[in-house]
Structure 1
Amino acid sequence: MADIFSIVGSALDAQNTRMGVIASNLANADSVTPPGGTPYRAHEVVFQPTPLDGPNGEDADSGQIATDSSSPDAASAAPDLGVRVVGTVLSNATPAKNYNPGSPYADATGYVTGSNVSQVGQMVDLIDASNSYGAAVAVLQQAGRVDQQMLSSFEVS
């Protein structure tokens, strides 16, 4: 049960990073680029399951998952997995092109190239990240209540 805090903590960190990336994308949604420049491309967070340090998790010295195949419970002694952000990738969506021949950023054909950030898509991702964050907080709160109930069961009346 103690590992639940590590697992949920890793999820909170990952969703916090995701929300930061979304905020950066939204801040650059209306950016434009001069002709010949590279437009802003939306970043997308990449998550990876990762073993947690501990008795059933990653061996801190070797980086290998600790398993004991000679144990009868070896199959059930799977490592506790958390989540980590391994990086971001750039979206391959097409950059926006708007016809505005009077803009100083317009190319020879009168089009201004902007970012490929979909504000609607980013807001959907933000709602999803926020809901995931809220669910993780609810799990932490429930785990705390279970711990309190367990401790109170040992109280002498």
Structure 2
Amino acid sequence: MNTLNDYQLLTKQALALIENESDLIANLSNLSALLNMNLDKINWVGFYLLKDQQLILGPFQGNVACVRIDLDKGVCGKAFSSNTTQRIADVHDFPGHIACDAASQSEIVVPINVNGKTVAVLDIDSPITERFNEVDEQGLNYFVEQLQSQLGF
């Protein structure tokens, strides 16, 4: 994805993919596959869902991953607890980074909100540093904003 227009097109595809499906797991599974097919230079994309005051691994594409993340730990926990997108150029410079996959070098995590409450995060990792830029951040924020109320939470 090079432009915001690319992300807008991807978002339209995603909305069409989930428009007649109300099952959360089915929708997140297809969205992780769609993102994996369309984003270059990534090695993991998926979702962590709030359950029992922890982030629990949801549908994803990539290598095996951490199953549980405390709400105050790592990039995912920071994005969730602060309800802000975290774009990390080099995960080794992030205090408290959780190394689920040693190959990951950069990361972006976008919180997902339903009815004003954070319920999950979209997490994307890359094997290169500084993979994610401002266009990616704006595009992924748009992607999540447009989809979050229709995912089936």
Q: Indicate whether the TM-score tops 0.5.
A: no
TM-score (norm 2): 0.23
Greater strand proportion: 2
Q: Which has the larger radius of gyration?
A: 1
Q: Which has the higher contact order (CA 8 A, sep 6+)?
A: 1
